[in-house]
Chains A and B, each alone.
Chain A
């Protein structure tokens, strides 16, 4: 009896020895421009080649301007993208650059073009690689030294992580999304409750999620400290995969499904830890602090630091409120915002944009707010335009941008000014994450859209009959 994680792990260990990390074979290696240049330099220094360029795929996303994308004003950004172009060429790696319609945030692009399969081991020099676990893959972020290791050997020495089941029972209330679910879990259990573990999300509430929503949940597993997040593949997974490029077609697809169905955790298999989440209790979430765990319900208030249990928590809350310019007791619905960012590897997929557009339709962005929508990939952008979503956003006063990481981490021209307050669908509200002095509140696409219109956080459940993203 094995868990899904153990089945995938065992199948990929090419060598193990008592007292040493196992050597794991990697099926897909995703590469982007920020964490790879030093790895390629290392290969050159040692006279090594890329062992499997055919299992390595690159794109540029972090530095990419989302407006006038071919005009890169920042010379160092340009150098970093040029380095990736040169490295891809020299080592024979497929690169989706700014000219490719598929180009986008690496964790949006990969699943979209069918690179992510159940049972795969997938790595990338990026912590949000956990996103791909939504397909029942073992996917995790690695450092640049490890990027070099995988380039050179297609393998990675890994200490076996422990397993944790996060069982989500009940039904997600109307107006609450996968983003609210994962923010709720992190707020309840902390940003390090899963350190050292691979999470498998199970339960009826997870089964009910679309692939896009599952990706949102797995994406933020790293914000719980987890090595990876996984969801067993099912009919929803197979329906998403069917017909995509790089996925087996025809009879081979049916054979693949038969194999993928074997991946699920066996009845009676033991996890090292288990957490049960009552999904019915989830409310739309807004973070108030500088860590993804510092969040509360839209009906809540900014907490009083003195009410926290430990000295460390009290200090962290005081530091956070000082940085965020917030006072204890302020209602979340009284917090006015300056900027709205809809996009990122967490919430930049087509369903996210549909859900946001549904809220926005027929309304105008508040005069106090500068709002933008950044599709997660060129294909998301094209699909959204085919559905007329871009018109809904533009007519309401949103900017409609090109694909990239944009203001999720502000390595490009999309940056908050000091003191600006942003409702953001991204994954991290760390100090300075969206720009020095910038104040980030993490929310769902629906909540961000509603905040853009009202100019302050608003309970989306009271909006004209909000819908789940998967009903679009």
Chain B
């Protein structure tokens, strides 16, 4: 039986793009703390961006992009710099994945969030500010806008001439394509872990 170290694979993805035109979107905004009390990994999508999506009565806020009819069913999130800053809560990528997103495009991501995405089969895709601006222009027309992401060739493109390459670390790319269980990989190093413990024995705090 595999544990949750197993990651869903992502090879290519074609999907509708929804813009979220804000810098520094923090993980408190992605998933407010009142929803962190669940002890499961699932079911967080309904709470994604909750305080921007819903008013205090729980009614959808029309002006928020995710609620606009032309963006319904989007699976690629287009946003601004330093996305995912703040708390380390993995509930943020859980909510993003559970809502149906597989790719987030931004000029930069906060470190912990970036790492957490790969653990959940989400691709955080970094493009330059200029290219992100160009994509914002394309999504703002009111007509549904679709992008295709090919992880193997590190290319993102549409069918109307936009094409750009992106960079991800080779190991992360491999893990995303193959959907590996990284805990299993580390457990294979048992001999080295045990040797380290014999040699550099860290103090036991509570034996």
Binding site for B on A (CB under 8 A): 11, 14-15, 19-21, 23, 25, 27-28, 34-35, 37-39, 41-43, 45-48, 51-55, 57, 62-63, 74, 76-77, 79-80, 83, 94, 115, 125-127, 141-146, 148-149, 152-155, 157, 159, 161, 191-192, 195-196, 222, 225, 227, 246, 248, 291, 312-313, 315-316, 319, 409-411, 418, 428, 430-433, 436
Contact = CB atoms under 8 A, between A and B. Distances in A.
A45 B3 contact: yes
A46 B3 contact: yes
A436 B28 contact: no
A46 B1 contact: yes
Contacts of B37: 34, 63, 74, 76-77, 79-80, 411
Given A149-B182, A411-B36, A192 B108 contact: yes
19 contacts: A25-B196, A38-B90, A45-B3, A79-B39, A80-B37, A126-B88, A143-B90, A143-B115, A144-B41, A145-B120, A148-B5, A155-B193, A192-B82, A225-B85, A312-B23, A409-B28, A428-B26, A430-B86, A432-B29
Contacts of B59: none
Contacts of A43: 3
Name, among B80, B88, B89, B192, the residue most crowded by chain A CB atoms within 10 Å (CB to CB): B88
Contacts of A227: 111
Interface stretch (B61-69, B95-103, B146-154, B183-191): B183-191
A428 B28 contact: yes
B111 A196 contact: yes
A74 B33 CA distance: 14
A148 B112 contact: no
B72 interface: no
Interface in B72-123: 80-82, 85-90, 93, 108, 110-112, 115-116, 119-120
Name, among A14, A225, A428, the residue most crowded by chain B CB atoms within 10 Å (CB to CB): A14
Interface string B168-207: 0111000000000011011101001101110010111111
A115 B41 CA distance: 30
B40 A38 contact: yes
Chain B interface size, as a band, is 35 or more
Contacts of A15: 189, 192
Given A80-B39, A126-B88, A316-B24, A14 B192 contact: yes
A159 B186 CA distance: 14
B32 interface: yes
B185 to A, nearest CB: 8
B44 to A, nearest CB: 11
Contact of A291 (B2, B21, B24, B197): B24
A63 B36 CA distance: 10
Contacts of A27: 202
Nearest to B120: A145
A28 B34 CA distance: 29
A225 B39 contact: no
A19 B36 contact: no
Given A14-B189, A157-B186, A430-B29, A313 B23 contact: yes
A42 B3 contact: yes
B94 to A, nearest CB: 8
A432 B5 CA distance: 31
Given A195-B108, A430-B26, A436-B32, A153 B200 contact: no
A436 B204 CA distance: 43
B192 A42 contact: no
B200 A28 contact: no
Contacts of A246: 203, 205
Nearest to A155: B186
B57 interface: no
